[in-house]
Amino acid sequence: MINLLSKGGILTYPIIFCSVLALAIFSERLIHFARLRVRGAGLAEKTAKLFKAKKFKEAFDLVRESNSPMGRILEKAMEVNKNDRNTLEIVIANATEEEVRHLSSFTQALATIGNIAPLLGLLGTVIGMIKAFMVIQQMGGKVNAAVLAGGIWEAMLTTAMGLAVALPTMVAHSYLLSRIDKYEARLQNGVTTFIKAMSL
């Protein structure tokens, strides 16, 4: 396999780097989401119950100690709960947007890798074809078909590698976006539950 990759030229190395980087980003995001699911589970409902029971300090301590996006949003909401409803909604909206931005960290990098990898592969193919035609010129048109075919498949190797990296990377990017959308919906539902408790 190493011998095969080495025949693809110098551009195989940045393509391999892209694949390693994409895998690292995807793995890190999966672990991050798994931790968030554990830390923030049922937090809004628990906080709402404490608020209904007028246990404000316990509720505030609970969200602060949760170390989760939901906890940070609810903490900011509690800090302005004595203000008017419009101020509360603005604070919650800004806090939610900030947390979603944090959740989306590095996902744009996956999209960039998915776009760059096939272009690197195409560039490698073009360079390989240029070398193949230079060989044709040097041989004065008396080209050995085996030599020409070998040069062409080596040139096409980088395109295959680029696509092999880009396709799973774009799938991973779409999957992470769907996870972010679902988590954002959970945040909004949790905030709604808490606001209802505050209104009682």
What digits encode the pLDDT tens for the residues 103-160? 888 899 999 999 999 999 899 888 888 877 777 777 766 666 666 666 677 778 888 8
* Phi and psi, residue 53, nearest 5°: -85, 5
Stated pTM of the model: 0.80
Domain ranges, residue 129: 2-199
The C-alpha atoms of residue 156 and residue 151 are separated, in whole angstroms, by 9
Tally of structural domains, the chain: 1
The C-alpha atoms of residue 191 and residue 40 are separated, in whole angstroms, by 12
Residue-wise pLDDT for 6-54, tens only, equals 666 788 889 999 999 999 999 999 998 888 877 777 888 888 888 888 8
Residue-wise pLDDT for 75-104, tens only, equals 888 887 766 777 888 888 898 888 888 888
The C-alpha atoms of residue 66 and residue 171 are separated, in whole angstroms, by 32
The C-alpha atoms of residue 75 and residue 141 are separated, in whole angstroms, by 76
> Rounded to an integer, what is the distance from CA 134 to the centroid of its chain?
42
**Considering just the CA atoms, what is the radius of gyration of the chain in Å?**
27
